[in-house]
Amino acid sequence: MIFGAVLAGGVGSRMHVGSMPKQFLPLGDKPIIIHTLEKMLMCSKLDAVYIGINAAWLEYMNDLLIKYDLNTDKVVVTAGGNTRNDTIFNIINEIEAAYGEDEEHIIVTHDAVRPFVTLRTIEENIECALKYGACDTVVPAVDTIVTSNDNQLITSIPDRSVMYQGQTPQSFRICLLKDLYAKLSTDEKNILTDACKICVIKGTPVRLVQGNTANIKITTISDYKIAQAIVSSNIDGLEEDTLC
């Protein structure tokens, strides 16, 4: 079976909006997370879509599902964790409690605050995860990348032609992700930035899926303004060629 996982456990501290987590902010005529969930539900290949929410906002999320007529058997709301990967594994636990463990289970993890993901991207994630076991959505880097070890001087300027910006979805065979995570040391777990790094640390190949430049993550006020402009101009369907 194939499961969507909308990751919404954070509180949006970088947005400096004190009233609510950023995934609940209005975007056009509905909250950001509802846009994202609707995109996931467009994919008929997903058997269920789980939403990992900060525990204090579970009731609010359930109310939104009712308000926007998305309170279906296909959508499951559960508590998120303290970190991104905690939220993913909380969702995996819920999936396996309901459907059992199965080597064929696929999980498609996606940021709640990336509301412009396309159906093509979701479906290609599913295809790649089924075929290769793990995949990450990326777009080629368009700016020169500069690294600095001390935040003051340039340490290196990598070759931009091999640089990519990571997006989501990130998709995996659940059994593979669990097995690799169990093999991580405490120090390795402490340096995780996303689920794909679990695979990279353990030397497991991660296939690239071509993303979409409009598939932005709404992290700052500037991102939020850009997202409002995208909604207003209805350009969220822009597509690019696939790498998979």
The tens digit of pLDDT for each residue in 200-229 reads: 999 999 999 999 999 999 999 999 999 999
> Rounded to the nearest 5°, which phi and psi values hold at 207?
-75, 145
> In this structure, is residue 12 part of a structural domain?
yes
> In this structure, is residue 241 part of a structural domain?
no
* Confidence label for 171 from pLDDT (cuts 50, 70 and 90): very high
166: alpha, beta or left, given left = phi > 0 and alpha = psi -120 to 50?
Answer: beta
- In contact, 64 and 23? CB cutoff 8 Å: no
- Of 27, 215, 197, 206, the C-alpha closest to 122 is 215
Whether the predicted pLDDT of 19 surpasses 80: no
Whether the predicted pLDDT of 161 surpasses 60: yes
> In this structure, is residue 240 part of a structural domain?
no
For residue 52, what are the contacts with CB-CB under 8 A and spacing of at least 6?
5, 6, 7, 8, 9, 78, 79, 80, 81, 87, 88, 90, 91
* Confidence label for 242 from pLDDT (cuts 50, 70 and 90): very low
- Which of the residue ranges 15-29, 58-72, 86-100, 138-152 would you say has the lowest mean pLDDT? 15-29
> In this structure, is residue 243 part of a structural domain?
no
- In contact, 139 and 212? CB cutoff 8 Å: yes
> In this structure, is residue 37 part of a structural domain?
yes
Query: What tokens does 70 get?
Result: 């998305």
Q: What is the pLDDT of residue 235?
A: 60
Whether the predicted pLDDT of 13 surpasses 80: no
Q: What is the pLDDT of residue 241?
A: 46
Domain count, the chain: 1
CATH code of residue 124: 3.90.550.10
> In this structure, is residue 159 part of a structural domain?
yes
> In this structure, is residue 239 part of a structural domain?
no
> In this structure, is residue 19 part of a structural domain?
yes
Q: What is the average pLDDT value for the chain, to the nearest integer?
A: 92
Q: What is the pLDDT of residue 71?
A: 83
Using CA atoms, how far residue 242 sits from 24, 119, 124, 126, 131, in Å, is: 31, 13, 8, 13, 15
Q: Average pLDDT of 57-80? A: 94
Q: How far apart, in Å, do the first and last CA atoms of the chain sit? A: 21
In terms of residue numbers, what domain contains 156?
2-233
Whether the predicted pLDDT of 119 surpasses 90: yes
pLDDT in tens, 70-115: 988 999 999 999 899 999 999 999 999 999 999 999 999 999 999 9
Q: Average pLDDT of 2-21? A: 77
* Confidence label for 126 from pLDDT (cuts 50, 70 and 90): very high
Query: Please, which residues bridge with residue 107 across strands?
Result: 3, 172
Q: What is the pLDDT of residue 37?
A: 97
- Of 41, 101, 98, the C-alpha closest to 65 is 41
DSSP symbol at 44: T
pLDDT in tens, 175-197: 999 999 999 999 999 899 899 99
DSSP letters spanning 153-201:
S--B---GGG-EEEEEEEEEEHHHHHHHHHT--HHHHHT--STHHHHHH
